[in-house]
Chains A and B, each alone.
Chain A
Amino acid sequence: MTAAERHIVAFTVEMAVLSTALILPVGVALAWCLARLRWRGKALVETFVALPLVLPPVVTGLVLLKLFGRRGPVGHWLYSEFHFDVVFTWRAVTLALAVMSFPLLVWTARSAIEEVNPALEQIARTLGAGEWRVFFTITLPLAKRGILAGIVLAFARALGEFGATIMVAGNIPGVTTTLSTDIYQLVQVGEDSQAWTLVGISLTLAFAAVWLNLRLMQRGKR
């Protein structure tokens, strides 16, 4: 592996880790709300969260580009308040990976939380536990495996993201280039042998992630 390849692999893994870490608290909180509460607009939020799964990734990417571009509503605000750009920077890579892998985390975590017997949470309340304590001592430990599986799945999805990333972050060597955008670039310019090295790395990472995910799901069932 050349230094450039190593850099790309490290950058991609970094971005995937960062995006997964960012969506984790929000994703688990949303999963809990979907699993345990009944509220108005729940179906709407469910649908909205699932959209990136079914939309063409370039569409999601385009929406993000319009929202976070310096002239977009969110991007403009971020620039004027905090003086930083999102699109075509590493932040955009994180953003794209986060949005694309969010539904996988929420769905897996939600079903893991739903599988926790609500009677256990009820009993914890009769024993004097408040909602936070119930969540951290009962719900979370019992849903742990499923949530972990969701994290691995989201991480794996982030590693391979292409469509949204290329729209919102582009493919700027050394700045926003990830494994998949680099493979695309190399094949475009006919450097197939270099591309194959990266394909091998992608394959290894994906294999490890999916294998871990399946093992977690299996052990979760017991």
Chain B
Amino acid sequence: MSLVLKNISLPLAPFTLEVEVEIHGRVTAIFGPSGSGKTSLLELVAGLRRAKSAFIQLGDRVLTDTAEGVFVPVRQRGIGYVPQELALFPHLSVRQNLLYGNRSGRETSHLFTFERVTEVLEIQPLIQRGVTELSGGEKQRVALARALLASPRLLLLDEPLASLDAKLKMRIIPYFARIRDEFRVPMLYVTHDRFETLALADEMVVLVSGKIAQTGSVREVFSRPANLAVAGLLTVETIQPGRIVQTADGLVSVAVGSTMLTAMAHSLSPDTGEVYVCIRAEDVILLAKGNSPTSARNQLPALVLSVTPEGPHMRAELDCGFTLAALLTKQACEELALKPGHPVVALVKAPHIHLIAR
């Protein structure tokens, strides 16, 4: 199923949202910084907001065409929407929330049965509860299940994990992956998180100040950002493909090229082999070349490739078998006398290495 967005023009406070794109991905990440118009775009597709000019077509059905005066009402679009605030109905039980969209006489697909959806999202134990008794992660799953049970042709997810802490995020991501793989509903997934994008999306649309900065497969966009704005959004962290070599005592050994790294195993399913290794630049500590013992599991001899100022910090690009970015203070940079070609040791604690199954 394809989603065609043409001639979209919606004036927002600091800019006008102008979009022209055709989306075919199973999961398409709408990626961009806060306030770039991502949510407004979703609302246009859902029909919750009207644009001055817009043409929106899902599959063979035109949903909005301002030129022809076509506007399919929200309830007839068959588009599931999970907003950032989730919007569970507080006066209804979990069961009533789940069934709300299931009785509107719409053609229901055998795929989205109550049993199957609650099973895949593991919410059977929650069904009898009140919505206010749920934890953040449980609410997230219930909101997702409620949208699915209305048998949507397209699912819109607005920063679904933004309100969850990092640990919980890692636990919820696999549920989205299951939805993607088992129910095959196309999804538009709004996020400003590279992690979620890498873990879930196959295509991405990068939105900056209401304009599309780049579209393409996730791999393509990440490896070849179209311009400085996109690169700025994406290259905050080190991302390298890696392979799991060994798992023991809750630790995994990951090979990135010829370099071996140690990371925590908890966020991975046991049969994962191929991963993306993600390291945030601020989690990298640099030592002058030498042999002092530290508690950090990863001590990587490296050569400095470049040192560039970034805001109040300095960004050092290192070669330790792969390219690793480190963010440090100007003072630290001076004390270590970092210069291109200079040998250092990069330290990264195992919990700071994030692995994403690929």
- The yes or no answer to A122 lying at the interface (CB within 8 A) is yes
Are B90 and A126 interface neighbours, CB within 8 A?
Answer: no
Are B48 and A127 interface neighbours, CB within 8 A?
Answer: no
Chain B contacts for A128, CB-based, 8 A: 75-76, 78, 101, 104-106, 150
Question: How many residue pairs, one in A and one in B, have C-beta atoms under 8 Å apart?
Answer: 58
Chain B contacts for A126, CB-based, 8 A: 46, 48, 74-75, 77, 79-81, 101, 147, 150
Chain A contacts for B77, CB-based, 8 A: 126
- The yes or no answer to B71 lying at the interface (CB within 8 A) is no
Chain B contacts for A117, CB-based, 8 A: 87
- The distance in angstroms between the C-alpha atoms of A120 and B79, with both chains bound, is 16
User: Using a CB–CB distance below 8 Å, which chain B residues touch chain A?
Assistant: 46, 48, 73-81, 83, 85, 87, 89-91, 100-101, 104-106, 146-147, 150
Which residue of B87, B100, B101 contacts A122 across the interface (Cβ within 8 Å)? Answer: B87
- The distance in angstroms between the C-alpha atoms of A119 and B76, with both chains bound, is 18
Chain A contacts for B46, CB-based, 8 A: 126
Min CB distance, A39 to chain B, in Å?
Answer: 17
23 pairs, A vs B, C-beta closer than 8 Å: A119-B85, A120-B89, A122-B74, A122-B81, A122-B83, A122-B87, A123-B81, A124-B89, A126-B48, A126-B75, A126-B79, A126-B147, A127-B75, A127-B147, A128-B78, A128-B101, A128-B106, A128-B150, A129-B75, A129-B101, A129-B104, A142-B90, A142-B91
Which residue on B lies nearest to A129, using beta carbons? B75
Are B83 and A127 interface neighbours, CB within 8 A?
Answer: no
Min CB distance, B134 to chain A, in Å?
Answer: 16
Chain A contacts for B91, CB-based, 8 A: 141-142
User: Using a CB–CB distance below 8 Å, which chain A residues touch chain B?
Assistant: 117, 119-120, 122-130, 137-138, 141-142
Which residue on B lies nearest to A128, using beta carbons? B104
Chain A contacts for B106, CB-based, 8 A: 128
Given the known interface contacts A119-B83, A122-B74, the answer about A127 and B90 at a Cβ–Cβ threshold of 8 Å is: no
Are A125 and B90 interface neighbours, CB within 8 A?
Answer: no
Which residue on B lies nearest to A130, using beta carbons? B75
Chain B contacts for A141, CB-based, 8 A: 91
Min CB distance, B97 to chain A, in Å?
Answer: 10
Min CB distance, A153 to chain B, in Å?
Answer: 23
Min CB distance, A157 to chain B, in Å?
Answer: 28
Which residue of A123, A138, A142 contacts B83 across the interface (Cβ within 8 Å)? Answer: A123
Chain B contacts for A127, CB-based, 8 A: 75, 80, 100-101, 104, 146-147, 150
**5 tightest Cβ-Cβ pairs between the two chains A and B:** A127-B101, A128-B104, A125-B74, A126-B81, A123-B87
Are B89 and A138 interface neighbours, CB within 8 A?
Answer: yes
Which residue on B lies nearest to A144, using beta carbons? B91
Chain A contacts for B80, CB-based, 8 A: 126-127
Min CB distance, A130 to chain B, in Å?
Answer: 6
Which residue on B lies nearest to A121, using beta carbons? B87
Chain A contacts for B90, CB-based, 8 A: 120, 142
Min CB distance, A117 to chain B, in Å?
Answer: 7
Which residue on A lies nearest to B96, using beta carbons? A137
Given the known interface contacts A126-B81, A129-B75, the answer about A119 and B104 at a Cβ–Cβ threshold of 8 Å is: no
Chain B contacts for A119, CB-based, 8 A: 83, 85, 87
Min CB distance, B109 to chain A, in Å?
Answer: 14
